[in-house]
Amino acid sequence: LPSQAQTTSDGTYVIKEDRVIDLRSGVEWLRCSVGQRYADGACTGEVLRLTQEEAAEAIRVANTELGGIWRLPTRDELEFLICETCDAPKIDKAAFPGTVSEPYWTGQKNWISPKNIWSVNFMTGHSYGRFFPYQRLAVRLVRDR
């Protein structure tokens, strides 16, 4: 039997197998970070830390294997996932199991310092616009619904 979609108690997310729909921003997330596999409510395997160039390749693979148009999130979309009251990682761990307590890439350049790209740190809950594209950060993919 296919599993039913489940809405979180606060009504923020609809969870269905390996996907999460954020009802606030309307986007669909992969529950696992790039490098992990989803099975039975858990994300297993190693979270990959990718450069922006490697993230672009991961997106090409996701678009082929999963269908749809996956991408890196905007800063706002990724900040929506921050759970201020959660222990690190500062995210809903039921919706996003296996998240690492460290920065994740966005696809957004820092307009003040265009050589740098925004990240959102799930250890602190803060966003930083100081990473260079060649640095290696965790990645979670999103797509518009």
DSSP-assigned beta bridge partners for residue 15: 6, 20
What's the confidence (pLDDT) of residue 3? 59
Nearest to 78 by CA among 47, 102, 61: 102
pLDDT in tens, 51-68: 999 999 999 999 999 999
What's the confidence (pLDDT) of residue 1? 42
Instruction: Quickly state the pLDDT bin for 30 (edges 50, 70, 90).
Output: very high
d(CA 54, CA 69): 17
Q: What is the mean pLDDT of residues 113-120?
A: 97
Q: 8 burial class (0-12, 13-18, 19+ CB within 10 angstroms)? A: middle
Q: What is the mean pLDDT of residues 97-125?
A: 97
* Cβ pair 85, 94 in contact under 8 A: no
